[in-house]
Amino acid sequence: MNITGWQIAIIALLIILLFGAPKLPKLAKSLGQSMRIFRSEVRTMSEESRKNSDDSTGSTGSSAEDSTQDRAPVEGRVLNPNDPTAEQNRSGEREPRGDHR
């Protein structure tokens, strides 16, 4: 007996329906949510790129302050690269605290 691709697909579908029936609604719901999130992200990216292209062609006198207005605030502390103790502080944060023998 020779089994073709369509027969394998039908058998696989039957197995999924029999053993995975309780999980199918959850799977469909998560797939729908994922598609919704993906579409909103794509839409947001296209709007941002359109806005950026409009900003770059539309206004030639924009300052650096205008471009930083749309950015979210960043948490952390600012280190002075010219400060010799800044490098020591950075390397000290990476090492675990405690007695090193």
Q: Which stretch of DSSP H or E encloses residue 38?
A: helix 24-58
Alpha-carbon 22 to chain mean position? 30
Q: Where are the domains of the chain?
A: 23-55
- Give the pLDDT band (50/70/90) at residue 33: very high
Summarize the confidence of residues 61-66 as an average pLDDT.
50
**C-beta of residue 89 within 8 angstroms of C-beta of residue 95:** no
> How much is the pLDDT for 43?
94
> How much is the pLDDT for 16?
85
| The model's pTM | 0.39
Which one is predicted more confidently, 2 or 67? 2
- Give the pLDDT band (50/70/90) at residue 76: confident
